[in-house]
Structure 1
C-alpha cells in the first residue's frame, strides 16, 4: 500500500503543477490583458485547488504510514540532524500544508471578488506564492537537498 500511495503522490504532483501553472497563466493573462473572468478561468481555479487537495490527502496519508516519518518521530533528537529524514519528517509536510492553505484561501477569495480584475489579481498573488512554495518543497531528482525520482513506477 505504501509504495502504491507513494507512486500516486509522485504522479499527482504533475497534475498539481500543471493545473496551477495553467491557472496562473490564465490569471496573469486575464490581469494583463484586462479580460473578463471566464468559465475557463473559473474551472482552472477549481481544478487546481481540487488537485492540490487530492495531493494533500495522499500526502497526509503517506505521512502517517511512511517508515521515514516513523523513524523521524521515534528518533527525533538524532533524526532532526539528518537532512533527508528531517525533510520528509518536518520540512516537506510543513511547507506543503502552508502552500495548500494559500491555494485554498486564494481560491475562496478570488471566487468572492465582485470584479473580474480583482479575481485575476487575487488568484495571481495567492497562487504564485503557493506555487513557489510547492516547487521549492518537492524533492526533485536534481535537488541538492533531498533527491527523489521525478517519476515512480506503480
Structure 2
C-alpha cells in the first residue's frame, strides 16, 4: 500500500503543478489584459484548488504510514539532525500545508471579490506565493535538501 500511495503522490504532483500553472496563466492574463472573469476561469480556479487538496489527502495518508516519518517521530533527537529524515518528517509537510492553506484562502478570497480585476489579482498573488512554496518543498532530483526521482513507478 505504501509504495502504491507513494507512486500516486508522485504522479499527482505533476497534476498539481500543471493545474497551478494553468490557473496562474489564466489569473495573470485576466489581470493584465483586464478580462472578464469567465465561467472557464472559475472552473480552472476550482479544479486547481481541488487537485491540490487531493494531493494533500494523499500526502497526509502517506505521512502517517511512512517508515521515514515513523523513524523521525520515534527517534526525534537523532532524526532531527539527519537532513533527509527531517525534510520528510517536518519540513515537507509543514511547507506543503502552508501552500495548501494559501491556495484555499486565495481561491475563497478571489471568489468573493466584487470586480473581475480584483478576482484575477487576488487569485494570481495567492497562487503565486503557494506555487513558490511548493516548488521549494518538492524533493526534486536536483534538490540540495533531499533528492527523489521525478516519477516513482507503481
Same fold (TM over 0.5): yes
Q: Which residue of 1 aligns with 2:61?
A: 61
Superposed CA RMSD in Å reads: 0.5
In the TM superposition, what is the alpha-carbon distance from 1:80 to its structure 2 partner?
A: 0.2
The TM-score normalised by the length of structure 2 is: 0.99
Q: Stretches of 4+ moved more than 6 A in 1?
A: none
In the TM superposition, what is the alpha-carbon distance from 1:24 to its structure 2 partner?
A: 0.3
In the TM superposition, what is the alpha-carbon distance from 1:56 to its structure 2 partner?
A: 0.2
In the TM superposition, what is the alpha-carbon distance from 1:41 to its structure 2 partner?
A: 0.8
Q: Which residue of 2 aligns with 1:100?
A: 100
In the TM superposition, what is the alpha-carbon distance from 1:124 to its structure 2 partner?
A: 0.5
In the TM superposition, what is the alpha-carbon distance from 1:105 to its structure 2 partner?
A: 0.3
- 1:1-154 superposed matches below 5 A: 1-154=1-154
Q: Name the CA distance, whole Å, in 2 between partners of 1:114 and 1:8.
A: 38
Q: In structure 1, list runs of 5 or more residues that go unmatched.
A: none
Q: Name the CA distance, whole Å, in 2 between partners of 1:82 and 1:60.
A: 21
Q: Name the CA distance, whole Å, in 1 between partners of 2:21 and 2:42.
A: 14
In the TM superposition, what is the alpha-carbon distance from 1:47 to its structure 2 partner?
A: 0.7
3-state SS of 1:4 partner? helix
Q: Name the CA distance, whole Å, in 2 between partners of 1:135 and 1:38.
A: 28
The TM-score normalised by the length of structure 1 is: 0.99
Which deviations, in whole Å up to 9, do the C-alpha atoms of 1:9-67 show, x marking residues without a partner?
00000000000010000000000000000111111100110000000000000000000
Q: In structure 2, list runs of 5 or more residues that go unmatched.
A: none
